[in-house]
């Protein structure tokens, strides 16, 4: 017998037996070996109440029986509307059934009935097979990262978690631009040691969006996943539960990695993060009761191997080098060898570097600057510019030293004048 509520009528007074009374009755009987009559006298309750408490292994729970409601008469009409239109707003339902009362009780009833007609969310998963799925997300730490030139900014971190082993990979990137997001994505997949068969993403601009009932991936991400041979799923908006594994990892970073840390730059952040992830992936995971660093071997056994050629995630563009011999990337200007002014150049931008080539010859290589509105002159290019100016001065002096013939000589020869 599992009673949830007892009413005691000892001494003509009715009262509800609380959980504390139930626990105390069982303690007195089990620990103190007190009899039923002694417990009843000690607590001032009826003996039958003591007997019922000792018989029940469940604590008492108060449940009020719901009485008749004004909404009951409208429930058939509500059910019919929800059967045809499961996502119809509650306010529209109230209008259609001509509900005359307040909205609070009406909303509660619709909230109870709506799940009967909504199919389960296909993105919800409670079990993952090895190598089946990895969830990805962009996390922005609440920390200002120094980027040089007395500037600091908040950067983004690509976070990926394998569904089966719960192995976490992460890498900080400077922006949400497609080339940076996909470069960070590739770094995390390399941390996994193999390619997951399918990845789950939010609707990021660099990844893709839902258009109507169809997932539309960006051209950059389509090339990226096509090269790796992996599938992808986009979550619907306002549906964080669809990728709850990686959302919990983000919270884990917030509480266990970030507090008390200082970072010199993005590279220092990634060094500290990589070191911390080694320890994090060797802890016993609360859900799986296993170490992700050990369980990942089962994941890798069912994941895809890396292709012979990895996807090119760098930003590439071509332009003609202007007279000032600088090329602009984001808001910064990077110098190029001035001897190639007017030539067609190719620019390649990675997470760490900006490299410029001309007809296959490297003409500039800079460390990528994450500060804004800076002009970066390489020392080699400054020396080349000084050498070109010196050559120009010598050429001008030589031209001035050459004898100039008097043109009137030609007039006399021709008999003119």
Cα separation, 93 vs 89, in Å, equals 6
Q: Which residue has better confidence, 267 or 48?
A: 267
CB 152 within 8 A of CB 283: no
Average pLDDT over every residue of 144-151: 96
Residue 9 confidence (pLDDT): 45
**CA 368/CA 353 separation, integer angstroms:** 5
Domain boundaries, the chain: 7-55, 71-116, 134-302, 315-399
Confidence bin at 291 (pLDDT 50/70/90):
very high
pLDDT number for residue 399: 57
Q: Does residue 12 carry a pLDDT above 80?
A: no
Report whether 91 contacts 56 (CB < 8 A).
Answer: no
Tokens standing for residue 177: 């631009």
**Which tokens is 357 given?**
């080539």
297 pLDDT above the threshold of 80? yes
134-302 belongs to CATH 3.30.420.10:
yes
**pLDDT given at position 23:** 79
> Tell me: the pLDDT tens digits for 164-215?
999 999 999 999 999 999 999 999 999 999 999 999 999 999 999 999 888 9
Per the model's pLDDT, the better-predicted residue between 102 and 358 turns out to be 358
Q: How confident is the model at residue 393 (pLDDT cuts 50, 70, 90)?
A: confident
Q: Which of 109-123, 140-154, 158-172, 197-211 has the lowest mean pLDDT?
A: 109-123
Strands 375-376 and 332-335 turn out to be: parallel
CB atoms within 10 A of CB 178: 19
Q: Which range (20-34, 98-112, 120-134) has the least confidence?
A: 120-134
Q: Which helix (H) or strand (E) holds 123?
A: none
Topology annotation, domain 7-55: Arc Repressor Mutant, subunit A (1.10.10)
Q: What dihedral angle (degrees, nearest 10) is formed by the CA atoms of 98, 101, 105, 111?
A: 20
Whether the pLDDT of residue 7 is over 80: the answer is no
Max CA separation in the chain (angstroms)? 152
| Residue range 346-388, pLDDT digits in tens | 999 999 999 999 999 999 999 999 999 999 999 999 999 999 9
What does the H/E/C string look like for 291-350? CHHHHHHHHHHHCECCCCCCCCCCEEEEEECCCCCEEEECCEEEECCHHHCCCEEEEEEC
Structure confidence at residue 339 (pLDDT): 94
pTM beyond 0.75, yes or no? no
pLDDT above 70 covers what percent of the chain? 86
């Amino acid at each position: 017998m599992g009673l949830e509520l007892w009413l005691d009528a000892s001494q003509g007074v009715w009262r509800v037996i609380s959980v504390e009374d139930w626990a105390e009755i069982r303690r007195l009987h089990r620990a103190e070996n007190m009899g039923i009559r002694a417990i009843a006298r000690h607590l001032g309750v009826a003996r039958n109440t003591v007997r019922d408490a000792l018989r029940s292994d469940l604590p008492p729970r108060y449940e009020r029986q719901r009485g008749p409601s004004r909404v009951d008469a409208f429930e058939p009409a509500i059910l019919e509307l929800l059967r045809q239109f499961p996502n119809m707003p509650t306010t529209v339902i109230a209008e259609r059934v001509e509900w005359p009362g307040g909205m609070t009780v009406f909303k509660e009833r619709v909230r109870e009935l709506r799940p009967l007609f909504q199919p389960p969310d296909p993105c919800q998963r409670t079990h993952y097979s090895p190598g089946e799925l990895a969830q990805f997300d962009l996390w922005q730490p609440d920390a200002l990262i120094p980027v040089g030139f007395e500037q600091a900014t908040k950067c983004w971190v690509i976070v990926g978690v394998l569904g089966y082993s719960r192995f976490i990979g992460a890498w900080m990137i400077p922006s949400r631009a497609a080339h940076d997001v996909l470069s960070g994505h590739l770094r995390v997949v390399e941390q996994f040691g193999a390619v997951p068969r399918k990845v789950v993403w939010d609707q990021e601009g660099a990844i893709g969006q839902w258009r109507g009932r169809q997932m539309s991936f960006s051209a950059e991400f389509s090339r990226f996943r096509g090269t790796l041979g992996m599938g992808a799923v986009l979550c619907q908006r306002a549906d964080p539960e669809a990728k709850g594994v990686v959302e919990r990892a983000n919270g884990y970073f917030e509480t266990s990695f970030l507090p008390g840390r200082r970072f010199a730059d993005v590279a220092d952040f990634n060094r500290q993060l990589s070191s911390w992830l080694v320890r994090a992936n060797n802890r016993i995971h609360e859900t799986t009761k296993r170490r992700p660093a050990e369980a990942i071997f089962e994941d890798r056994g069912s994941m895809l191997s890396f292709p012979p050629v990895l996807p090119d995630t760098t930003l590439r563009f071509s332009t003609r080098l202007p007279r000032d011999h600088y090329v602009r990337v984001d808001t910064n200007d990077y110098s190029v060898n001035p001897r190639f002014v007017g030539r067609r150049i190719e620019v390649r931008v990675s997470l760490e570097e900006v490299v410029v080539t001309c007809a296959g010859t490297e003409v500039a290589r800079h460390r990528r600057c994450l500060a804004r509105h800076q002009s970066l002159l390489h020392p080699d290019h400054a020396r080349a510019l000084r050498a070109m100016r010196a050559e120009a001065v010598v050429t001008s002096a030589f031209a001035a030293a050459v004898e100039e013939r008097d043109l009137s000589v030609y007039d006399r020869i021709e008999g003119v004048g």
